[in-house]
């Protein structure tokens, strides 16, 4: 039996930049800001770091370990991690495993992305020239995730109006939470009507069903759990980090129902087993999940067993996932409002859990919290990479 990571690794410092259209910040600029906030938070010097993992999705945000060269770490092992939108969590996973096995004492994980240098909205190209370009489909990320909504509505016999109302409720919640967060990309309360009547981006998803495309960076410093109290009185412990990369069979097999994400379901199962969680709906106190689109968040609630299959609508409409609900989800505003600089997102989610567990979340501070869960998704529902992390005191 492989060993569990539970309670072997502690997060002793974190940093996160403001997310947004940071026109005058380069990616290296952002990484320095996030890393130095983490150094200060942990009370360490750069020379204390033994190894680093830097997460970038796109080459424009950095290639190889040299992408982190702006930090001037002195001749240390640095690895670039790329796992699409799940990159940030994977960087933390690698750093955690390194300290857990004892080859280094303090490891740094940084995730950063510069999306807003390209002159257009939306994500940048994922196709390297020359290796593809034969055949092809004209599509975008919103359309790929919209197909999840089309099928969800069809399967559960939800009218387009009722379906859009359900999804709008999620966006209203994220906008409310994001408005309480000074580092978030968007600060604007919206109503269900505004969300429902917003321009369509990819039917049935409208403008407010889609997350922000942002620049930003986040960083975490980890050490072995036994050493954590040397650095601070309130470290946060990793209870589980699990990745699940699918065999990309959803686009190929008729068996894939397009109303769930198998990788999320399986990553959740693995994480609960590792953390010893028996009843996720009851035991998880709060979650930051990969709400790149409103429908993604809805389906994740079922895949992570927060809501029964086909029943998330009831939990959304009853306010179960609101800040004052039974299981607050996206307390920091989520991808929807905090923003989504791809390589940084996984670490940004951890940052919110870390601050909540330390009681430093300001006006959105949750009470009576024990375990926080993050869920980070790379690529599309039928074929993706998922990382789930559970942290606690």
Partner 1 sequence: MVGITSFGAYIPYHRVVREEFYKAWGGFPIPGEKAIASYDEDAVTMAWDAGNNCLSGLDPKKVDGLYLATTCAPYKEKQNSTIVATALDMRDDIRTADFCNSLRSGTEALSAALDAVKAGSVKNMLVTAAETREGAPAGMGEAQYGDAAAALLIGDTNVVAELLGSYSVSDEYAGEWRAHNDHFVRAWEDRHLLDEGYSEQLPKAITGLMKKCKVNAKDIAKLVMSSPMDVRRHGKVAVGAGFGMGQIQEPFFMTVGTCGAAMGMLMLVAALEEAKPGDKILLAQYGNGADAFLFQVTDAIAKKAKAHLSVQALINSKRTLPYYTYLRWRGLVTVERGRRPEIPFTSLTALKRSRKEVMGLYGKKCLTCGHVMYQMPFGIGGMTPIRVCYYCQTKDNFEDYRFADKKAKIFTYSLDMLADVIDPPGTPVFVDFEGGGRGWFDLTDREPEKVKVGLDVEMVLRHQSFDRGIHNYYWKARPVRG
- 150/177 with CB nearer partner 1: 150
Q: Which of 203, 281, 365, 366 binds partner 1 (CB under 8 A)?
A: 203
Q: Is 196 in the site for partner 1 (CB under 8 A)?
A: no
10: three-class secondary structure by DSSP? strand
Residues 140-179 touching partner 1, rule: CB under 8 A, are: 140, 142-144, 146-148, 150-151, 154
Q: Is 308 in the site for partner 1 (CB under 8 A)?
A: no
As measured in angstroms, the least distance from the Cβ of 248 to partner 1 is 3
Q: Which of 24, 74, 138, 157 binds partner 1 (CB under 8 A)?
A: 138
- The tokens of 215 are what? 């620049």
How far is the C-alpha of 261 from the C-alpha of 305, rounded, in Å?
A: 12
As measured in angstroms, the least distance from the Cβ of 258 to partner 1 is 5
Question: Is 85 marked active-site?
Answer: yes
How far is the C-alpha of 345 from the C-alpha of 342, rounded, in Å?
A: 6
Is residue 1 classed exposed, middle or buried when 0-12, 13-18 and 19+ CB atoms within 10 A define those classes?
exposed
How far is the C-alpha of 86 from the C-alpha of 113, rounded, in Å?
A: 12
Q: Which of 2, 102, 129, 182 binds partner 1 (CB under 8 A)?
A: 129
- 132/191 with CB nearer partner 1: 132
Question: Is 176 marked active-site?
Answer: no
Q: Is 273 in the site for partner 1 (CB under 8 A)?
A: no
Q: Which stretch binds partner 1 (CB under 8 A): 5-13, 253-261, 301-309, 357-365?
A: 253-261
How far is the C-alpha of 229 from the C-alpha of 237, rounded, in Å?
A: 11
How far is the C-alpha of 381 from the C-alpha of 147, rounded, in Å?
A: 9
How far is the C-alpha of 213 from the C-alpha of 337, rounded, in Å?
A: 10
Q: Which of 305, 295, 357, 310 is nearest to 331 (CA)?
A: 357
As measured in angstroms, the least distance from the Cβ of 20 to partner 1 is 19
As measured in angstroms, the least distance from the Cβ of 252 to partner 1 is 5
Q: Contact at 8 Å (CB) between 239 and 390?
A: yes
Q: Which of 112, 114, 103, 113 is nearest to 38 (CA)?
A: 112
Q: Which of 133, 278, 324, 367 binds partner 1 (CB under 8 A)?
A: 133
- 59/234 with CB nearer partner 1: 59
Q: Is 63 in the site for partner 1 (CB under 8 A)?
A: no
Residue where the block lists tokens 């699409």: 84
Tell me how many degrees the CA angle 330-333-339 measures, rounded to the nearest 5: 120
Number of residues lying near partner 1 (CB under 8 A): 52
Q: Which of 24, 74, 125, 159 binds partner 1 (CB under 8 A)?
A: 125
Residues 6 or more apart whose CB falls under 8 angstroms from that of 55 comprise 80, 81, 82, 83, 87, 88, 90, 91, 109, 110, 111, 112, 343, 344, 346, 347
Q: Is 64 in the site for partner 1 (CB under 8 A)?
A: no
> DSSP of 126-176, one letter per residue?
-S-TTT--SS-----HHHHHHHHHHHHHHHTT--HHHHHHHHHHHHHHHHH
As measured in angstroms, the least distance from the Cβ of 340 to partner 1 is 15
Catalytic residue, from 223, 340, 384, 389: name it: 340
Q: Which of 127, 159, 279, 368 binds partner 1 (CB under 8 A)?
A: 127
Catalytic residue, from 85, 244, 292, 337: name it: 85
Q: Is 23 in the site for partner 1 (CB under 8 A)?
A: no
Q: Is 289 in the site for partner 1 (CB under 8 A)?
A: no
How far is the C-alpha of 268 from the C-alpha of 280, rounded, in Å?
A: 9
Q: Which of 96, 181, 285, 379 binds partner 1 (CB under 8 A)?
A: 379
How far is the C-alpha of 46 from the C-alpha of 374, rounded, in Å?
A: 27
Q: Is 102 in the site for partner 1 (CB under 8 A)?
A: no
Q: Is 383 in the site for partner 1 (CB under 8 A)?
A: yes
Q: Which of 256, 306, 351, 354 binds partner 1 (CB under 8 A)?
A: 256
Q: By rule CB under 8 A, what string of x and - marks binding of each residue 103-122 to partner 1?
A: ---------------xxxxx
Which residues are annotated as catalytic?
A: 85, 340
Residues forming contacts to partner 1 in the complex (CB under 8 A) are 118-140, 142-144, 146-148, 150-151, 154, 199-205, 247-249, 251-254, 256, 258, 379-380, 382-383
């Amino acid at each position: 039996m492989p060993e569990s990571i539970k309670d072997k690794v502690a997060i002793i410092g974190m940093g996160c930049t403001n997310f947004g259209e940071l026109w005058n910040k380069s990616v290296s600029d952002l990484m320095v800001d996030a890393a130095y906030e983490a150094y200060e938070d942990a009370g360490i010097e750069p020379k204390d770091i033994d190894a680093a993992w830097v997460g970038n999705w796109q080459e424009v945000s950095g290639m190889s370990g040299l992408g982190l060269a702006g930090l001037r770490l002195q001749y240390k092992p640095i690895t670039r991690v790329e796992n699409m939108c799940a990159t940030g969590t994977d960087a933390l996973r690698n750093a955690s495993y390194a300290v857990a096995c004892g080859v280094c004492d303090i490891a740094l994980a940084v995730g950063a992305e510069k999306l807003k240098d390209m002159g257009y909205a939306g994500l940048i190209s994922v196709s390297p020239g020359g290796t593809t370009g034969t055949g092809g489909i004209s599509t975008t990320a919103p359309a790929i995730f919209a197909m999840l909504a089309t099928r969800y509505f069809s399967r559960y016999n939800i009218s387009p109006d009722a379906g859009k109302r359900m999804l709008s409720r999620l966006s209203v919640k994220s906008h409310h939470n994001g408005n309480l967060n000074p580092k978030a990309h968007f600060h604007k309360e919206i109503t269900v009507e505004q969300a429902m009547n917003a321009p369509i981006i990819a039917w049935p998803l409208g403008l407010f069903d889609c997350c922000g495309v942002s620049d930003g960076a986040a960083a975490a410093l980890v050490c072995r759990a036994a050493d954590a109290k040397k650095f601070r009185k309130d470290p946060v412990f990793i209870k589980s980090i699990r990745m699940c990369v699918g065999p990309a069979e959803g686009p190929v097999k008729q068996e894939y129902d397009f109303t769930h994400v198998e990788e999320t379901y399986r990553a959740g199962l693995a994480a609960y087993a590792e953390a010893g969680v028996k009843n996720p709906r009851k035991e998880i106190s709060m979650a930051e999940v990969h709400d790149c689109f409103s429908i993604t968040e809805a389906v994740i609630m079922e895949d992570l067993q927060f809501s029964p299959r086909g029943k998330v609508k009831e939990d959304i409409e009853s306010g179960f996932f609101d800040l004052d609900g039974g299981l607050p989800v996206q307390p920091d505003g989520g991808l929807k409002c905090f923003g989504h600089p791809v390589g940084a997102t996984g670490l940004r989610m951890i940052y919110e859990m870390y601050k909540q567990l330390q009681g430093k979340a300001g006006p959105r501070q949750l009470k009576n919290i024990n375990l926080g869960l993050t869920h980070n998704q790379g690529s599309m529902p039928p074929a993706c990479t998922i990382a789930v992390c559970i942290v606690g005191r």
